[in-house]
C-alpha cells in the first residue's frame, strides 16, 4: 500500500517535508483548483515550461452549438434568469422522465441549501452525511443551524456505508444526504427503506451522478424527496457554474423558486418582459441562487450532447480498467449490469506493494505532464469539521485509509485516444518501475 499519512494525537495529519504545500492552482482550460469541485489539496500544478505539453486533470467539452447559443443569448439582450433557464429546466425534467419539477440554481451547493431549508430543517436537527465528500454536502446543514452526523463509507464504492446509517439515527435526525461518489449510485433501495422506517427525508447529492442510474432508473427520478445536480466546469454536463434541484414535492419546488431569488414572490422574467407588471413582494429572507440565461444557454446543448459525452467517458473508463489492471492499484467499481456509472471521476488507490507513496505517484505523473487530483481529503481531517464535531481518524477507518492512497486520473470527453494512452503509460512507468513489472 502507499505511504500512510501519519496522524498525530490530536487527529491532525502530520507534515511531510517531502510533500509540497499547495495553494491556489490553475489548470490549462481555465479550471481553478480553488473552486468547488476540483477539490483536492493534493492537486498538482503543471509546469507550463515542461515537456511534453500538459494534459489537464479536467476540461469542459464545449461545442459550436453551445458557443452559438451563448452568442444568441448575448444578442437577445436578456442575460439573467429568463427564457433559456425555463427551457433548460423543462428539458432537464424531460430527460429525467417528465414527472419532476426542476429548479435551476447557480451551484449544487445552492440547490442542497434550498432543499434543506425547504424541508424546514433547522437548529437542533441532525442530518446524516458521508464523511468522504466535498465540504458542501455538510456545510449546507450548518447553513440552517443543524448538525451533520458523519458516517464512514463502503470500502469498494466509497459511497456511504448503508450498514452504518441506522446506528447514526437519533430522535433529532431529520434527513439523509447520500453522495453518489465519482458517479456510481449508492444503494438507494436500502437508503430509502431506512428513511421510510424512521420518517426521514432523503436529499441526494448527485453532483457526480449525471447520467447515473440505479436499478434502471435515472438518479433524480427515484423515490427521494429531492436530488441536486452540479454543472460545475469539471462535471459531465458543464455550464461553468450551475446546478439543478429536482423534486416531486410541489411545496418544496414552490419554496425553492421563491428562496433562490431573495424571497421574491414573482419571477423576474415575468415582471420585465413586454406586458409584464413590475409589482412584487418579498415574502421571506431568501438568497441569490438563480442561474443565468448565459449559463443555461450552454446547458441546453450540453444536455442534448450528454449521451454522446458519456459514451466517451465510458470508453476511457473501460480502457483504464483493462490496461491498469496489472498494476498495484485498486480500481473503481463498474456499475451493476444494466445500470450506468457517470464516470465523473476515475479514482484509483495504491495497494500493498506499490513501492511509492500517493504523493510520489502524483509527482511522477506531474513530471510526465499529467494533471491529477484527490477526491477527497475526508471531512474529519479538515480543521473545521474535526474540531467543531470532535472527529478523529479512528472513527472513519475506511475513508482515512482510502484518502492515504487515492489519486484521481484525468477522465473527460475531450480526451483523445493518445491522451488516454499517455496517462496509462505514465502510470505504468511510475508503478512498473517501482514494482519491477
The Cα angle at residue 276 between residues 274 and 280, in degrees rounded to 5: 150
Residue 24, exposed/middle/buried by CB under 10 A (0-12, 13-18, 19+)?
Answer: exposed
Q: How far apart are the C-alpha atoms of 16 and 22, rounded to whole Å?
A: 13
- Helical spans, DSSP H, in 236-357: 250-259, 268-272, 293-304, 306-323
Neighbours of 127 (CB within 10 A): 26
Q: How far apart are the C-alpha atoms of 16 and 10, rounded to whole Å?
A: 17
Residue with grid cell 421563491, as numbered in its chain: 258
How far is Cα of residue 330 from the mean position of the Cα atoms in its chain?
Answer: 21
Q: Decide if 345 contacts 422 (C-beta within 8 A).
A: no
Neighbours of 71 (CB within 10 A): 11
- Specify which residues 151 forms β-bridges with: 130
Which of 3, 235, 288, 414 does the annotation list as catalytic?
235
Residue with grid cell 463498474, as numbered in its chain: 334
Q: How far apart are the C-alpha atoms of 162 and 191, rounded to whole Å?
A: 7
Q: Decide if 380 contacts 399 (C-beta within 8 A).
A: yes
- Specify which residues 203 forms β-bridges with: 226
Please indicate whether residue 235 is annotated as part of the active site. Answer: yes
**What is the number of residues in the chain?**
437
Measured on CA atoms in the order 41, 302, 298, 203, is the torsion positive or negative?
A: negative
Q: Specify the DSSP class assigned to residue 38.
A: S
How far is Cα of residue 323 from the mean position of the Cα atoms in its chain?
Answer: 26
Task: Supply the residues annotated as catalytic.
Answer: 235
Amino acid at each position: 500500500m502507499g505511504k500512510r499519512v501519519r496522524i498525530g494525537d490530536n487527529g491532525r495529519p502530520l507534515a511531510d517535508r517531502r510533500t509540497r504545500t499547495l495553494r491556489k492552482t490553475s489548470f490549462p482550460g481555465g479550471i481553478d483548483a480553488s473552486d468547488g469541485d476540483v477539490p483536492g489539496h493534493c492537486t498538482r500544478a503543471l509546469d507550463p515550461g515542461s515537456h511534453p505539453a500538459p494534459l489537464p486533470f479536467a476540461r469542459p467539452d464545449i461545442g459550436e452549438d453551445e458557443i452559438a447559443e451563448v452568442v444568441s443569448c448575448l444578442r437577445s439582450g436578456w442575460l439573467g434568469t429568463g427564457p433559456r433557464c425555463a427551457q433548460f429546466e423543462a428539458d432537464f425534467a424531460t430527460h429525467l422522465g417528465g414527472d419532476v419539477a426542476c429548479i435551476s440554481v447557480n451551484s449544487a451547493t445552492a440547490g442542497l441549501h434550498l432543499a434543506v431549508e425547504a424541508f424546514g430543517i433547522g437548529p437542533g436537527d441532525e442530518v446524516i452525511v458521508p464523511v468522504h465528500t466535498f465540504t458542501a454536502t455538510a456545510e449546507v446543514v450548518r447553513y440552517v443551524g443543524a448538525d451533520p452526523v458523519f458516517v464512514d463509507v463502503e470500502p469498494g464504492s466509497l459511497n456511504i456505508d448503508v450498514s452504518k446509517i441506522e446506528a447514526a439515527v437519533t430522535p433529532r435526525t431529520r434527513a439523509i444526504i447520500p453522495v453518489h461518489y465519482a458517479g456510481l449510485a449508492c444503494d438507494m433501495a436500502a437508503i430509502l427503506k431506512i428513511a421510510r422506517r424512521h420518517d426521514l427525508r432523503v436529499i441526494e447529492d448527485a453532483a457526480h451522478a449525471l447520467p447515473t442510474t440505479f436499478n434502471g432508473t435515472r438518479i433524480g427520478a427515484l423515490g427521494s424527496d429531492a436530488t441536486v445536480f452540479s454543472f460545475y466546469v469539471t462535471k459531465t454536463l458543464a455550464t461553468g457554474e450551475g446546478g439543478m434541484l429536482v423534486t416531486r414535492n410541489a411545496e418544496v419546488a414552490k419554496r425553492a423558486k421563491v428562496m433562490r431569488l431573495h424571497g421574491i414572490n414573482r419571477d423576474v422574467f415575468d415582471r420585465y418582459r413586454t406586458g409584464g407588471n413590475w409589482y412584487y413582494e418579498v415574502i421571506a429572507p431568501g438568497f441569490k441562487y438563480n442561474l443565468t440565461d448565459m449559463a443555461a444557454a450552454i446547458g441546453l446543448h450540453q444536455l442534448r450532447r450528454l449521451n454522446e459525452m458519456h459514451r466517451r467517458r465510458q470508453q476511457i473508463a473501460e480502457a483504464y480498467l483493462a490496461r491498469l489492471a496489472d498494476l498495484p492499484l485498486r480500481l473503481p467499481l463498474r456499475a451493476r449490469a444494466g445500470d450506468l456509472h457517470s464516470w465523473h471521476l476515475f479514482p484509483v488507490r495504491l495497494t500493498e506493494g506499490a513501492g511509492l507513496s500517493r504523493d510520489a505517484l502524483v509527482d511522477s505523473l506531474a513530471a510526465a505532464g499529467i494533471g491529477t487530483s484527490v477526491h477527497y481529503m475526508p471531512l474529519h481531517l479538515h480543521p473545521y469539521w474535526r474540531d467543531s464535531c470532535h472527529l478523529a481518524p479512528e472513527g472513519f477507518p475506511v475513508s482515512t485509509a482510502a484518502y492515504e492512497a487515492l489519486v484521481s486520473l484525468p477522465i473527460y470527453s475531450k480526451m483523445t485516444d493518445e491522451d488516454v494512452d499517455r496517462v496509462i503509460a505514465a502510470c505504468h512507468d511510475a508503478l512498473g518501475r517501482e514494482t519491477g513489472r
